[in-house]
Structure 1
């Protein structure tokens, strides 16, 4: 069965929903992996040190297996996103060979993808062509930049919460602790710091922030391309840069889209309405 643009959007949304859940699982697995390291500072019995070491190793293996699965799902989601933009924007359909390759790459079922189909996922009503692809890219960049910025704020919030909690515990315990206990607290802090400095927290904050900046830059250039009626060469080059920015960034923090969906939809509809009004006024003056 041929895959149309709406089907591709269904796969895109289903795969991203799946990878988002896997990212949450990875986050808690990584946090759990840091717990044995922190607990080992307090444990002096040899038996329990071995238990903690084994637990840490098992959790690390679980994290690695989960990470591999997450990467596979995310790769599938990005492939569906690229295909949805190209087929939806320029028209046409996948060849039988490309369809087979696409089906094999996906990690969700056809039924799951069908449940995630959304006919009005993109607001553009233009006919297939460079202009439609340009508008779809601009809309996608608008949402992605905002979601990456929100994700950066969320990850920064996690870091701040960790810092505040540790500071409160340290200051609360300070009057009642001797030098040895203070050193133990510092060792625990250093163990937790390994988690905080990992790519799922501090690194994620930095990459989310940089991705938001890069995607916004692409959107600005798409606005300039709109003035020239979206030349195909410009649109394809900008799509390549957009793909690079999006795929180099971590998955958006779960629930950021549902949290801000209504507001972003309203802002985009207002933006497109203003553009259409300006275009009509320009044609009227001619």
Structure 2
């Protein structure tokens, strides 16, 4: 059975949602991995330290398995997105071998994908061809760039808030505690800072910003290509660069789309209506 554009949208939406859930789980799992190190700073019990070490190793193994699952889910989502663009944009028909390979790479069932179908996911009425693919790319880039910017802001805010909170607690306690206790507080603070750096909150913020900037350049190139009526080779080159930018970008933070969707939907609907109006008058 061939894969329709609608079912491919269902696959990509469900796979991305699953990847986002895995990312949140990894974040909290990394916190649990760091906790034994923080607790060991304030304990001198050898037995407890022994069990904390074992617990940290077990959690590290669980984290590795969870990360592998996240990577597989993210790869599946990216494959579904690329396939949905080609099938929906160019009217590309997948061969039996490619269909089999696609299904093997997905981490969800077709029933789950069908439940996630959204008929108006790509808001374009242009017939299949380079122009339709370009418009779908532009719509995808519009939302992705905005969500990457939101994610960058969220990660920076999280980093700043937690660093300030940890620093405030540690330094506020210094005048009121003995020297040994102060050292313990500072060690706990440093252990927690290791956690935040291990989760790469700051690095994720910079990666989100870089991805947003690259995707903005993709949008500009699509606008230039529209003036030449979207040559196929140009559109395919732009799609390749867009795929690279999205594939290397961190997962968008949870709830970013849900919170921003109404505003982004209005902005895109207005933009695409204006574009079509200009084309008609031209």
Please give the TM-score of this superposition, normalised by the length of structure 2.
0.97
Q: Hey, which bits of structure 1, 4+ residues long, moved more than 4 A?
A: none
Q: SS of the counterpart of 1:279?
A: helix
Q: Helix, strand or coil: the match of 2:265?
A: helix
Equivalent residue for 2:255?
255
Write the deviation string for residues 9-59 of structure 1: whole angstroms up to 9, x where unpaired: 110011111111111100100111111111111111111111111111111
| Offset, 1:75 | 0.6
Greater alpha carbon shift after TM alignment, 117-126 vs 177-186: 177-186
Deviation sequence 1:55-75 (CA, Å, 0-9, x none): 111111111000000101111
Could you tell me how far apart the structure 2 residues matched to 1:170 and 1:92 are?
A: 60
CA distance in 1, matches of 2:239, 2:199: 26
Partner of 1:188: 188
Correspondence 1:137-286 to 2 at 5 A: 137-282=137-282
* Residue 215 of structure 1: how far off its partner (Å): 0.8
State the 1:199 CA deviation: 4.6
Asked whether the 8 Å contact 1:142–1:219 carries over to 2, the reply is yes
Q: Does 1:64 pair with 2:64?
A: yes
1:93 corresponds to which residue? 93
Q: Give 1:153 deviation, angstroms.
A: 0.9
SS of the residue aligned with 1:127? coil
SS in structure 1 of the partner of residue 145 of structure 2: helix
SS at match of 1:252: coil
Q: Are the aligned partners of 1:27 and 1:200 in contact in 2 as well (CA < 8 Å)?
A: no
Matches within 5 A, 1:72-111: 72-111=72-111
Cα offset, 1:177, TM superposition? 1.6
Segment of structure 1 superposing worse, 192-201 or 41-50? 192-201
Distance 1:79 1:194 in 2: 34
Aligned-residue RMSD, C-alpha: 1.1
**Which residue of 2 is the match for residue 34 of structure 1?**
34
Q: State the SS of the aligned residue for 2:126.
A: coil
Give the Cα separation in 2 of the matches to 1:198 and 1:213. Answer: 25
Partner of 1:115: 115
Matched-pair contact (CA < 8 Å) for 2:147–2:252: yes
Asked if 2 retains the 8 angstrom alpha-carbon contact of 1:86 and 1:133, the reply is yes
Checking the alignment, whether the CA contact within 8 Å between 1:15 and 1:76 is kept in structure 2 is yes
Partners of 1:142 and 1:198 in 2: how far apart?
A: 31
1:8 aligned residue: 8
CA displacement at 1:94 relative to structure 2: 0.8
* 1:181 positional shift: 2.1
Return the alpha-carbon distance in structure 1 between the equivalents of residues 101 and 199 of structure 2: 31
Alpha-carbon shift at residue 200 of structure 1 (Å): 4.2
**Count of residues in correspondence between the two structures:** 282
Over residues 125-175 of structure 1, what are the superposed CA-to-partner deviations in whole Å (9 max), with x where a residue is unaligned? 100000000000011000000001111111111111211211221233122
For 1:68 and 1:31, locate their aligned partners in 2 and report how far apart those are by CA, in whole Å: 18
Separation in 1, partners of 2:202, 2:47: 34
| SS of residue paired to 2:272 | helix
Q: Is this contact kept in 2: 1:137–1:239, CA < 8 A?
A: yes
Unaligned stretches of 5+ in structure 1?
Answer: none
